[in-house]
């Protein structure tokens, strides 16, 4: 009886092991499957101003919140802001705004905004000194040092609608400000 079970056990053991491993390793759906392309309100807002005027207001809105402008074109603005929530953690928000004409006359625009949040962690790298002498080989000396470097550990688009709502409200305030300077005609194209 015991002899008859051994071939059966030998045959089913690899199959059972494969089934257990398959059950434990679940595939995560690809990131792009969460892209529904159904909501156009979170990252965009319409304005009754030219694209150049809208982007100028976006530039001022970002500057007023401590963003450093890294690119400024009549119809595109990029800004960056750095944070250090903990001593060994660094975060950065890269904010992008594109202002496009909305309609044939070019007197209204739509502002598209998105922000990328990146996290960095402080990592130590140990280094030791060694000296190589041709005929004798190399000799390691007890001198060592460590260097700190920031390593990117995460990067993700900010998805929170309230974040963008606050930005668009501030942009609107700069558009409707009474002292908003006139944008030169060359920038309105």
| Structure confidence by residue, pLDDT tens digits, 64-115 | 999 999 999 999 999 999 999 888 889 999 999 999 998 877 789 999 999 9
Residue 89: strand pairing partners: 86, 121
The model's pTM is 0.68
**pLDDT above 80 for 11:** no
Other C-beta atoms closer than 10 Å to the C-beta of 183 total: 18
| Residue 9 CB neighbour total at 10 angstroms | 10
The pLDDT of residue 147: 76
Q: Comparing C-alpha atoms, which of 139, 98, 132 is closest to residue 115? A: 98
| Rounded distance between C-alpha atoms, residue 79 and residue 62, angstroms | 7
CA distance 170 to 61: 6
Q: Nearest-CA neighbor of 101 among 109, 112, 93, 113? A: 109
d(CA 41, CA 111): 11
How much is the pLDDT for 103?
Answer: 81
pLDDT at residue number 150: 82
Domains of the chain by residue range: 39-187
pLDDT in tens, 124-180: 877 666 666 666 666 565 556 667 788 889 999 999 999 999 999 999 999 987 765
| pLDDT of amino acid 15 | 63
What's the pLDDT band for 48 if we cut at 50, 70, 90?
very high
Domain covering 39-187 assigned CATH 3.30.310.80 in the classification: yes
Q: Name the β-bridge partners of 144.
A: 128
């Amino acid at each position: 009886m015991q002899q008859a079970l051994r071939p059966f056990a030998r045959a089913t053991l690899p199959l059972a092991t494969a089934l257990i491993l398959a059950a434990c390793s679940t595939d995560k759906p690809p990131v792009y499957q969460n892209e529904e392309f159904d909501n156009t309100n979170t990252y965009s807002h319409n304005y009754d101003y030219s694209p150049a005027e809208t982007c100028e207001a976006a530039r001022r809105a970002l500057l007023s919140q401590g963003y450093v402008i890294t690119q400024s074109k009549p119809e595109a603005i990029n800004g960056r802001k750095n944070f250090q929530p903990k001593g060994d953690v660094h975060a950065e928000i890269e904010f992008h705004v594109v202002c496009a004409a909305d309609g044939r006359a070019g007197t209204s625009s739509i502002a598209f905004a998105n922000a990328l949040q990146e996290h960095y962690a402080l990592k130590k790298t140990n280094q030791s000194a060694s000296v190589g002498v041709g005929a004798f080989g190399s000799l390691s000396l007890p001198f060592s040092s460590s260097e700190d470097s920031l390593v990117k550990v995460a990067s993700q688009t900010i998805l929170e609608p309230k974040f963008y709502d606050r930005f668009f409200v501030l942009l609107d305030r700069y558009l409707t400000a009474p002292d908003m300077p006139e944008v030169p005609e060359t920038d309105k194209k």
